[in-house]
Amino acid sequence: MFDPYLEYKRNSIMTASPEELVMMLYNGIIRFVNEAKQAIDDKNIERAHNSITRAQDIVLELMSTLDMKYDISKNLYSIYDYISRRLIEANLKKDKVALDEVESLISDLKDTWGKAMDKVRAKVYSKG
């Protein structure tokens, strides 16, 4: 069965630039962390586990795509590694404090990434 929303999402991902994909991944982590916090409040341990696991998968994907010949990539890897460990702790203990910390760190990365994208776009368009 054709689902227009899923088709739109698939097309959005397939046509996104690498920079936009990183932003989508950050948004995904934030979404799954918030779902996990809600599931913990609802005492739905399985849903909390599944949401945290999905956030972990995204962090691992971000880690695996870094080009380690750059210092910034090494720094990001350390941050992602820390976030991954906090997600594991959050999952083991169903710890909303750890999830809040992860959300804060990812939100900071997302904001920084967005500002960097804006600067690059401004340079590109000012040359055109």
Q: What is the pLDDT of residues 50-108, one digit of tens each?
A: 999 999 999 999 999 999 999 999 999 999 999 999 999 999 999 999 999 999 999 99
The string of DSSP letters for 31-44 reads: HHHHHHHHHHHTT-
Element spanning 124, H or E: helix 96-127
Of residues 8 and 47, more confidence is placed in 47
- What's the pLDDT at 28? 98
Q: How many CA atoms lie within 13 A of 89 on its CB side?
A: 14
Query: What's the average model confidence in pLDDT over 4-19?
Result: 74
pLDDT over 90 at 122, yes or no? no
Q: How far apart are CA 22 and CA 114, in angstroms?
A: 10
CATH for 19-127? 1.20.120.340
70 DSSP 8-state letter: S
What does the mean pLDDT of the chain come to? 92
Give the pTM: 0.87
Is there a contact between 25 and 62 (Cβ–Cβ < 8 Å)?
yes
